[in-house]
């Protein structure tokens, strides 16, 4: 694979998709499960009777968990047809709806949802501020937006790990130069977009949101099987997780 792909096209490459799903489903201590997911659930809180929009729904398992937790309805959108097809299977026994569309082109009907969630998708979006404004539009008054994104320390660390085994160092560079980053990952090449914490925070404020919480998924020992893995995850932040509210 010689060219760098957009997020949806990256996951629609069959070889990469297979590697990704094996990576997510068969590793006992993924960063997503040990660090990102607990904070996401903490910030989401009670979803009883809430209408939920999931931006970048992936394989749909999170949607099923939200419905099991009491959500009134669930709509997931994703730009990857591979993700949508597996989401349909995982959600087939539920009342959930999923749509194959990009986050940038979806219609975002006004005042429709109580909660919008997005897990590790927004770093694939070039114009994140436009999406923030669209999410604000589609939330009802006092609606909440909870999302995770690759930490800006990670998106600004472009040097490849050349050593053997697990990565041991990261070089943060060009941190204040936001924009396109080209990454090699999972045997493929993908385009992501770097922006600073300040830019993310400011973009939410400009859209009208009140930022209620900003977290960095600090590792918690009880979430890890391996002490070695826990200690390694303390070295650098992987995720930025935000909760914001529409007050109007």
Question: Which residues in 47-76 are b (16+ Cβ under 10 Å) and which e?
Answer: beebbbbbbbbbbbebbbebbeeebebbbb
The secondary structure of the chain in percent helix, strand, coil, rounded to multiples of 5, reads: 35, 25, 40
Please, what are the domains in the chain?
9-151+193-246 (3.40.50.150)
Which pair of tokens denotes residue 30? 């993924």
Candidates 138, 119, 110; CA nearest to 54 is: 119
Q: What is the pLDDT along the chain (248 residues), one digit of tens a residue?
A: 558 999 999 999 999 999 999 888 888 889 999 999 999 999 999 999 999 999 999 999 999 999 999 999 999 999 999 999 999 999 999 999 999 999 999 999 999 999 999 999 999 999 999 999 999 999 999 999 999 999 999 999 865 545 555 665 678 888 999 999 988 888 899 999 999 999 999 999 999 999 999 999 999 999 999 999 999 999 999 999 999 999 86
């Amino acid at each position: 694979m010689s060219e760098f792909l957009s997020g949806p096209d990256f996951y629609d490459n069959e070889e990469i998709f297979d590697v990704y799903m094996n990576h997510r489903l068969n590793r006992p201590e993924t960063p997503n499960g040990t660090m990102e997911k607990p904070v996401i659930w903490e910030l989401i809180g009670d979803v009883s009777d809430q209408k939920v929009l999931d931006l970048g729904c992936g394989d749909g398992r999170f949607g099923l968990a939200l419905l099991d937790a009491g959500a009134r309805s669930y709509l997931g959108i994703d730009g990857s047809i591979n993700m949508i097809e597996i989401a349909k299977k995982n959600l087939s026994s539920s009342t959930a709806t999923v749509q194959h569309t990009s986050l940038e082109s979806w219609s975002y009907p006004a005042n429709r949802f109580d909660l919008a969630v997005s897990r590790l998708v927004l770093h694939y979006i070039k114009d994140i501020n436009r999406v923030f404004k669209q999410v604000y539009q589609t939330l009802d008054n006092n609606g909440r937006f909870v999302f995770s994104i690759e930490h800006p320390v990670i998106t600004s660390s472009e040097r490849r790990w050349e050593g053997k085994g697990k990565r041991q160092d990261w070089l943060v560079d060009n941190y204040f130069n936001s924009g396109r980053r080209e990454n090699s990952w999972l045997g493929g090449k993908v385009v992501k977009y770097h922006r600073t914490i300040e830019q993310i925070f400011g973009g939410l404020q400009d859209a009208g949101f009140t930022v209620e919480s900003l977290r960095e998924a600090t590792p918690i020992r009880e979430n890890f099987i391996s002490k070695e893995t826990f200690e390694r995850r303390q070295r650098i932040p992987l995720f930025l997780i935000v909760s914001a509210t529409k007050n109007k």
